[in-house]
A and B are shown apart, each in its own frame.
Chain A
């Protein structure tokens, strides 16, 4: 079992502020790192799939970085909006990439107006 950890577990952020949170994973046998956003009563929605050390990806106000040598990824949200409130999940994939993702427990983000 791949050990994927996320911190913090929950986060309250004022609307307009920027924020970031962390995902750590074993650096050995790394294949890919995924980020998902999961809003209440909806399916988890893919944000990023990252495979290369040093990868940086961006989608609107959300961006992510990847460091496979030290085993961590950061997710950044710039200028938080109420619609950013969700649980953000990261998931690791090891080996040849055909296995199931191993998810962290998520960071529950609440944006306060």
Chain B
């Protein structure tokens, strides 16, 4: 079974803190993704990566950056957390072969106070 894990299920941070959300997948997938989910807005793509050290902006990249130093690990970074970044964050991975099933992690519920 494909496994995508995220470092924390729940996280509480203060405004202005630097926040790291970590994601690891064990299926040697090339593509990895970060989404956020907010009520009424659905899942929105923040950033994605199709290879080590490669990154592409998604639909809502402002206020975020990412790092992919190893194929299995994709990190989302909030350089200076703000209250409007309170959300559920989901990581996913997928084979590079287009159209393949995307596998999601359990999510991290981040609260920024």
A binding-site residues for B, Cβ under 8 Å = 1, 31-32, 34, 42-46, 49, 51, 89, 91, 93, 96-106
Contact = CB atoms under 8 A, between A and B. Distances in A.
B105 A51 contact: no
Given A93-B98, A100-B48, A105 B90 contact: no
B42 A105 contact: yes
A contacts with B: majority SS: loop
Interface string B40-64: 1111110010100000101100000
Interface residues of B, number: 28
A43 B107 CA distance: 7
B105 A105 contact: no
23 contacts: A34-B101, A42-B106, A43-B105, A43-B106, A44-B90, A46-B102, A46-B103, A49-B99, A51-B99, A89-B42, A91-B102, A96-B98, A97-B98, A98-B96, A99-B48, A99-B56, A100-B33, A100-B58, A102-B59, A103-B35, A103-B43, A105-B41, A105-B42
B104 interface: yes
Interface in B69-113: 90, 96-107
